[in-house]
């Protein structure tokens, strides 16, 4: 599968923990027309440069920043241009990230009804960055919204007809307790999303982050709570709603069939190819990885500057391994075992991994215990 990632750097406020390229801006100050035009120009240039006109696009993902800082009209213009520049799959996944405050603003600012309606009908997947339902924690993190706004945002999307909603949560917050995380998980589940991401906060900006032991307890809580609620744990930090009951013997097959796994992110984790558009966006075609310079002023006038990295076969295989082992699908066993003989048996004996058979192929995948210490396991591969 080939994918397109579009980076929209504008945010109402820069969050204290965020390392992504973003530009704090009032909604009325976002250069809507100029930015969309620049994205369209880059799409035209890159499609011709890499011969992508006939490559079928399986997913488009708008991330940021806050893509919903763009108006419904701007979003529609962008998608229309991409649909004429590229060959889109009839079953394409169209995802957009949204922050709650942009979905609940008065109509005089962004057009609440118009925006939620457009998101539900332009995109078939919306990921809402709630992070936590604790108002105290939201203030610590520098978030603009509160818990009521978060809940209202999800409900407004559901009322508009959106049938594939993901809630982004973070755990391991400053001073966070297990009970507080459990409350976040309970409230997220109660809203009825089709997907939940639960990422550990990793930053050096706070001193009172959970210990390693507490972090382990929190990760296991998320795993147990969400899987018990009918979500399949298909990647270290991601859970997709299962569509029907299944026996333990067929759990992996059923999980692969879930329509709510994020196909765009799976393309990354399966070491696929993608095009990156927008300032700071990274793309990869073949053995070449390219990143756009994160200078919004230059980007708006299409003064494009790229950092290009040539990936050798050894590096590519290592990346394929530690990306694929993040997922419940795992990686092809034979090629891994040829490069790391004996390692699989060692992991399996400790309950950290297992082998799964699919047709004539055998796949190596980590167990939840393996995921818990994945950084240590990956260091052996690297």
Q: Name the domain boundary from 269, 288, 307.
A: 269
Report how many domains make up the chain: 2
Is there a single domain that holds both residue 206 and residue 90? yes
Indicate whether 289 belongs to any domain: no
Q: Residue with structure tokens 């763009």? A: 70
Q: What is the span of the domain harbouring residue 372?
A: 316-382
Q: Mean pLDDT over all residues of the chain?
A: 92
The answer for 242, left when phi > 0, alpha when psi is -120 to 50, beta otherwise, is: beta
Specify burial of residue 334 (Cβ count, 10 A radius: 0-12, 13-18, 19+).
exposed
Span between the terminal Cα atoms of the chain, in Å: 26
Q: Tell me if 360 sits within 8 A of 265, measured CB to CB.
A: no
**pLDDT higher than threshold 70 for residue 108:** no
Q: What is the pLDDT of residue 60?
A: 99
Q: What are 378's two structure tokens? A: 């990956």
How much is the pTM?
A: 0.93
CA dist 245 and 257 (Å) reads 12
Cβ 244 vs Cβ 254: under 8 Å: yes
| Domain-located, residue 96 | yes
Of the candidates 8, 5, 39, which has an alpha carbon nearest to the alpha carbon of residue 274?
A: 5
Asked if residue 240 and residue 93 are part of one domain, the reply reads yes
Which of 211, 245, 269 marks a domain boundary? 269
110 has pLDDT over 50: no
Convert the pLDDT of each residue in 130-180 to its tens digit: 999 999 999 999 999 999 999 999 999 999 999 999 999 999 999 999 999
User: Backbone phi, then psi, for 192, in 5-degree steps?
Assistant: 75, 40
Inter-residue contact 172 to 200 (CB < 8 Å): yes
Task: Identify which of 153, 162, 157 has the alpha carbon closest to the alpha carbon of residue 102.
Answer: 153
Asked if residue 175 lies in contact with residue 139, where contact means CB atoms within 8 angstroms, the answer is no
């Amino acid at each position: 599968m080939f994918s397109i990632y579009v980076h929209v750097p504008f945010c109402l406020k820069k969050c204290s923990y965020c390392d992504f390229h973003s530009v704090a801006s009032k909604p009325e100050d976002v250069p809507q027309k100029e930015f969309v035009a620049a994205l369209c120009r880059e799409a035209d240039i890159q499609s011709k440069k890499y011969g992508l006109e006939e490559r079928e696009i399986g997913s488009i993902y708008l991330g940021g920043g806050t893509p919903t800082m763009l108006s419904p009209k701007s979003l529609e213009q962008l998608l229309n241009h991409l649909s004429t520049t590229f060959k889109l799959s009839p079953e394409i996944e169209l995802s957009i990230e949204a922050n709650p405050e942009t979905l609940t603003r008065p109509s005089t600012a962004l057009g609440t009804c118009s925006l939620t309606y457009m998101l539900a009908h332009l995109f078939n997947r919306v990921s809402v960055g709630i992070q936590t339902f604790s108002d105290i924690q939201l203030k610590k993190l520098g978030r603009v919204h509160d818990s009521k706004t978060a809940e209202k945002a999800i409900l407004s999307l559901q009322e508009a007809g959106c049938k594939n909603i993901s809630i982004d949560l973070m755990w391991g917050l400053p001073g966070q307790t297990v009970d507080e995380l459990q409350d976040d998980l309970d409230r997220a589940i109660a809203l009825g999303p089709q997907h939940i991401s639960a990422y550990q906060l990793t930053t050096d900006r706070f001193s009172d982050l959970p210990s390693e032991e507490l972090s382990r307890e929190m990760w296991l809580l998320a795993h147990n709570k969400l899987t018990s609620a009918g979500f399949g744990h298909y990647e270290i930090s991601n859970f997709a709603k299962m569509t029907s009951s299944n026996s333990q013997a067929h759990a992996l097959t059923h999980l692969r069939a879930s329509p709510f796994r994020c196909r765009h992110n799976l393309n990354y984790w399966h070491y696929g190819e993608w095009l990156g558009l927008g300032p700071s966006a990274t793309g990869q075609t073949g053995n070449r990885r390219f990143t756009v310079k994160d200078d919004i002023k230059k980007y708006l006038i299409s003064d494009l500057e790229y950092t290009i990295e040539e990936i050798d076969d050894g590096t590519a295989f290592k990346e394929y391994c530690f990306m694929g082992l993040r997922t419940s699908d795992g990686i092809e066993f034979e090629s891994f075992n040829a490069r790391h003989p004996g390692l699989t048996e060692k992991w399996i004996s400790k309950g950290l991994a297992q082998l799964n058979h699919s047709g004539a192929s055998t796949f190596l995948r980590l167990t939840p215990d393996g995921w818990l210490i994945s950084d240590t396991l990956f260091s052996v591969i690297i």
